[in-house]
Amino acid sequence: MSNLICYYSRKGQNYWNGSIKDLKKGNTEIVAEFIQKAVGGDLFEVKTVNPYAKDYYTCIDEAQKELRADARPEIQAYPENLESYDVLFVGFPNWWGTMPMAMVTLLEKFNLEGKKIMPFCTHEGSGMGSSERDLQRICVGADICKGLPIHGAEAAQSESMVVNWAKKIINK
Task: Give pLDDT tens digits for 102-135.
Answer: 999 999 999 999 999 999 999 998 999 999 999 9
CATH at 91: 3.40.50.360
> What residue spans of the chain are helical by DSSP H?
27-39, 56-69, 101-108, 131-138, 159-170
Task: Give pLDDT tens digits for 38-58.
Answer: 999 999 999 999 999 999 999
Number of domains in the chain: 1
Threshold 0.75, pTM exceeds:
yes
Within 13 Å, how many C-alpha atoms sit on residue 129's CB side? 20
